[in-house]
Amino acid sequence: YGYDTIKTPKLNDVQIAQSMISENFTSSNPVAVLVPAGDYKREERLLRKYESMPQVKSATGLANIEALGGYCLTDRLTPRQFAELADLDYEAAQLIYTAYAAENDEYGRIVSGVSGYSVPLIDMFLFVADEVDKGYVTLDSEVADKLQDARKAMTNARLQLQGEEYSRLIVSLDLPESGDETYAFTDEMKDVARTYYPDGDIYLVGNSTNSYEFKKSFARDNIVVSVVSILIVLVVLLFTFKSVGMPILLILVIQGSIWINFSIPVFTRVDLFFVAYLIVSAIQMGANIDYAIVIASRFSEVKNRMESREAIIDTLNFALPTIITSATILAVSGFLIGHMTSEGTIVGIGQSIGRGTVISVALVMLVLPQILLVGSRIVDKTSFSVPVNLRRHLGSGVTVVDGLVRGEIRGTVSGIVRGTVDGDVNLVILSGSAQPQEGGAREPARGKEAAADEE
């Protein structure tokens, strides 16, 4: 469900650059954890928990970013600690804290004294910077420059890691972007976060979580699509062959070739992008059912005129050129595409189509005949007829026949006829048409007795 483990026979410029980066630098797999904002203590405890887990390289948030003097951005400082950190007079720091309490409607702090009042470092620094801009606080140039530098860094940090409703924690995983171990650990990360925020919404965002969502939706959707596709194919085959048994026998070959095709990457440990699976499954089912219908239709047509073994031999001789020609074109095209591109998805599609076509032909030519021989009785016993609205055409002279007909043309005719008949016509038209040709009519032929009387 991701591109990080897919191998391609050719590398483009981007892949070459990524390969060089991976060889010379450590790779990371970042996942963003969104938690309700406002409680820095909870964030700090959650970050420490993540950092203690062996699958995590690092965890970063406002609560563990070191700012100045060994303090983190969210550490709460008293007026004296802030004065020492910012190189201010203690009295000036007290006045700043008093103004901050008034700004945030914490008048109780002012009444009880601000000496024990503590404020997160980032909030106090940004407040002082705003007060300097308004002209309420005056600092010497060196302290002002230091304050502005700190303000820029803290503002950027807040923009990156804190919003109005959520705080973002960046967790770098020592795991690949996709894989069962990675997916299991993302669930564990969410469970850990819920222990600290049981009542709040928690979200995980990253390439790994995207791949995990693809996996969960694909597993469900693939079952639905596969079942619906098989049912539709069964219905089509049911009315094509007018038998309940024939569709079941053919679907064994059709779906079996798809399963064999996609079991090979599992045993060879070759990763395949999930989109390639969906596309190739549809293509292989369409191609394979075409091959199977050619074999089954011919066998159904000739099995009543000869022995079953001879009927199968005749069927294979009849279908082999058609199937081999079509399959060779499809297989060669697939293998060439799979070995000439640097795009991982296209590689999987090409290789799977080429491999699947070879498997389909092998099953249709070698396995399907045996299935038809063994299951011929089942097909016959489950056959049914569908009433057809037939039209009859009677006439003499030149008649243009185009369609599937059955009847007599100075003899008995049954089959697909496309041509012009000059003579007596007595046909049952199953499909198509039969009509007199303009200017070609003549008198109906008379029987032998009428001719003798005339003589």
Say if residues 193 and 35 touch (Cβ distance below 8 Å).
Answer: yes
Instruction: Give the model's confidence band at 451: pLDDT under 50 very low, under 70 low, under 90 confident, else very high.
Output: very low
Highest mean pLDDT among 41-50, 233-242, 280-289: 41-50
Instruction: Give the model's confidence band at 246: pLDDT under 50 very low, under 70 low, under 90 confident, else very high.
Output: confident
Q: What share of the chain is helix, strand, coil (3-state, %, to 5)?
A: 60, 15, 25
pLDDT at residue 372 tops 90:
no
List the alpha helices (DSSP H) in 242-343. Answer: 245-268, 274-302, 308-340
pLDDT at residue 228 tops 70:
yes
pLDDT at residue 191 tops 80:
yes
- Residue 423: CB atoms within 10 A of its CB come to 15
pLDDT at residue 356, rounded to an integer: 92
Instruction: Give the model's confidence band at 224: pLDDT under 50 very low, under 70 low, under 90 confident, else very high.
Output: confident
Instruction: Give the model's confidence band at 85: pLDDT under 50 very low, under 70 low, under 90 confident, else very high.
Output: confident
Hey, what are 268's tokens?
């060879």
Element (H, E) at 363: none
What whole-number distance in Å separates Cα of residue 14 and Cα of residue 27? 16
Please tell me which residue, 152 or 364, carries the higher pLDDT value: 364
Side chain identity at residue 289, one-letter code: I
Q: Is 94 helix (H, G, I), strand (E, B) or coil?
A: helix
What whole-number distance in Å separates Cα of residue 139 and Cα of residue 25? 44
pLDDT at residue 201 tops 50:
yes
Tell me: the pLDDT tens digits for 302-355?
888 888 888 888 989 988 888 899 899 999 999 998 888 888 888 889 999 999
pLDDT at residue 333, rounded to an integer: 92
Tell me: the pLDDT tens digits for 248-304?
888 888 889 999 999 998 998 888 888 888 888 888 888 888 888 888 888 888 888
pLDDT at residue 447 tops 60:
no
pLDDT at residue 223, rounded to an integer: 84
pLDDT at residue 49, rounded to an integer: 92
What whole-number distance in Å separates Cα of residue 397 and Cα of residue 425? 8
pLDDT at residue 385, rounded to an integer: 61
Say if residues 106 and 68 touch (Cβ distance below 8 Å).
Answer: no
User: CA dist 155 to 93, 135, 152, 387, 455, Å?
Assistant: 21, 20, 5, 80, 120
Instruction: Give the model's confidence band at 401: pLDDT under 50 very low, under 70 low, under 90 confident, else very high.
Output: confident
Side chain identity at residue 280, one-letter code: V
Instruction: Give the model's confidence band at 193: pLDDT under 50 very low, under 70 low, under 90 confident, else very high.
Output: very high
Q: What is the pTM of this model?
A: 0.62
pLDDT at residue 136, rounded to an integer: 67
- Residue 164: CB atoms within 10 A of its CB come to 6
DSSP string, 6-52: ---SS--HHHHHHHHHHHHS---EEEEEEEESS-HHHHHHHHHHHHT
The sign of the dihedral angle between the CA atoms of 401, 404, 406, 412 is: positive
- Residue 410: CB atoms within 10 A of its CB come to 12
Please tell me which residue, 31 or 425, carries the higher pLDDT value: 31
What whole-number distance in Å separates Cα of residue 46 and Cα of residue 56? 13
Tell me: the pLDDT tens digits for 99-124?
888 887 777 777 777 788 888 888 88
**N-terminal to C-terminal alpha carbon distance within the chain:** 90
Going by DSSP bridges, is the β-strand pair 56-60/166-173 parallel, antiparallel, or unpaired?
antiparallel
pLDDT at residue 189, rounded to an integer: 92
- Residue 421's DSSP bridge partners are 399
Say if residues 121 and 71 touch (Cβ distance below 8 Å).
Answer: yes
Hey, what are 174's tokens?
């020592």
Mean pLDDT of 392-407: 72
- Angle CA(255)–CA(261)–CA(267) in degrees, nearest 5? 130
Tell me: the pLDDT tens digits for 306-315?
888 888 889 8
User: CA dist 102 to 20, 98, 243, 417, Å?
Assistant: 56, 6, 87, 100
pLDDT at residue 450 tops 60:
no
Mean pLDDT, the chain, rounded, equals: 81
pLDDT at residue 415, rounded to an integer: 67
Instruction: Give the model's confidence band at 12: pLDDT under 50 very low, under 70 low, under 90 confident, else very high.
Output: confident
- Residue 395's DSSP bridge partners are 425
20-24, 176-180, 274-278: lowest mean pLDDT where? 20-24
The sign of the dihedral angle between the CA atoms of 108, 110, 112, 113 is: positive
- Residue 271's DSSP bridge partners are none
Sequence-distant (6+) residues with CB within 8 A of 413 are 405, 406, 407, 427
pLDDT at residue 375 tops 90:
no
